[in-house]
Structure 1
């Protein structure tokens, strides 16, 4: 009966109830309870780091707590940046190039060598390869013209991109001209004649 009651408690209530007694502490820290909590929390999330997903196997409570903390991280690693294709579109400020002018979203792949390539499908649509250079830029504390200090991504000599997290825990990079999304907002990406789901890890 007690285990059934525990299964209905929120993570916050579990932390409170665990202080009632040693028995309740054991029940509230049960592996299955926190495994279910991870399942509920992550159900509508597009991105949870692989290491945190792996941690769920051995310590779901720690995985739950770390995933919430990680969701507030407004900076992606090189591995995350280069893991798979990013969806992007031009903003309305770009006029005819913008997404609002019936131009479909496109996909770019950041490579660890500092190169940005279009996916094979995008190269086929445009008819020629398009390559750019990316780099991290760390701004000094007196950079008052941007909303925050720290690392920003720059492609070629275009304006710096700020990085934030979406409600689905995916990444969003943007400047005044473009927006990038990872994992892609689209459910599928077409690559070389096949359709595959975007990597969600």
Structure 2
């Protein structure tokens, strides 16, 4: 990986290399730097900032960041924002562990019982039988939840969900979970690929990857 120091060497240790080097050469050099090093170049000078904040440069950085991710944040795909902002917002959203209604409703969720669940339920679950596609669950903005037609586990009973978040001083989250009806709370986890998992000792929900989804998914604002 090329370091920030080596970029100074390329430009002859000139703090304002554009006086001697064309912009396209600067872009080629910066494109070989990791995102953190490019970000450091933003504060060298106004000229460096102009080049280092180029959409041409950060478009490829965004593609590298999003590669292999299950979900792409909606707030990073808003029309008109710079690719640098898109990258920064993606990184911040990817660290978010607090799930919101937009996340629940935007994704399809795979559902299966855990090993601790009663054997009768596991015998109805393709996850354990290995003889069919996984069961799916869908969250809706009106607070309801549905399943695929013909789901043998889905009993047709009333099903609603709620997100419970309690916050103490300085915005610190004390408790955060999702509840279906009055059943056991679901603890929320965020994975390295930005996908979600919600589980308790009886069943588990996993968000189905949808990085291809036009416009992205999740909230249109930063959630802390």
Which has the higher mean CA deviation after the structures are superposed, 62-71 or 12-21? 12-21
Structure 1, residues 50-71: CA drift from partner, whole Å, max 9, x if none? 221225x531111111111111
Once residues 126 and 100 of structure 1 are traced to their aligned partners in structure 2, the CA distance between those partners, rounded to angstroms, is 14
Task: Indicate the residue corresponding to 1:27 in structure 2.
Answer: 51
Structure 1 residues without counterparts, runs of 5 or longer = 142-147, 188-196
Are the aligned partners of 2:113 and 2:203 in contact in 1 as well (CA < 8 Å)?
Answer: yes
Change (3 A) 1:86 1:199: farther
1:61 aligns with 2:105: no
Change (3 A) 1:117 1:15: same
- In our comparison, the structure showing a higher alpha carbon Rg is 2
TM-score (norm 2): 0.69
Structure possessing the higher relative contact order (Cα contacts under 8 Å, 6 or more residues apart):
2
Once residues 152 and 127 of structure 1 are traced to their aligned partners in structure 2, the CA distance between those partners, rounded to angstroms, is 23
Over the aligned positions, Cα root-mean-square deviation in angstroms equals: 2.7
Structure 2 residues without counterparts, runs of 5 or longer = 1-24, 217-224
Task: Indicate the residue corresponding to 1:106 in structure 2.
Answer: 135
**Equivalent runs, 1:14-163 vs 2, <5 Å:** 14-54=38-78, 57-96=80-119, 97=122, 99-102=127-130, 104-119=133-148, 123-126=149-152, 130-131=156-157, 132-139=159-166, 149-163=174-188
Change (3 A) 1:158 1:198: farther
Alignment length (residue pairs) = 180
TM-score (norm 1): 0.76
Are the aligned partners of 1:118 and 1:130 in contact in 2 as well (CA < 8 Å)?
Answer: no
Q: CA deviation at 1:198?
A: 8.0
Task: Indicate the residue corresponding to 2:20 in structure 1.
Answer: none
Structure 1, residues 5-47: CA drift from partner, whole Å, max 9, x if none? 1111111111223333433222211111111100110011111
Structure 1, residues 113-167: CA drift from partner, whole Å, max 9, x if none? 2222112xxx2253976342212234587xxxxxx73331111222111112111
SS of residue paired to 1:152: strand
SS of residue paired to 2:51: helix
Once residues 115 and 100 of structure 2 are traced to their aligned partners in structure 1, the CA distance between those partners, rounded to angstroms, is 29
Once residues 18 and 138 of structure 1 are traced to their aligned partners in structure 2, the CA distance between those partners, rounded to angstroms, is 37
Once residues 29 and 166 of structure 1 are traced to their aligned partners in structure 2, the CA distance between those partners, rounded to angstroms, is 29
**1:172 aligns with one of 197, 203, 212:** 197
Q: Which has the higher strand share?
A: 1
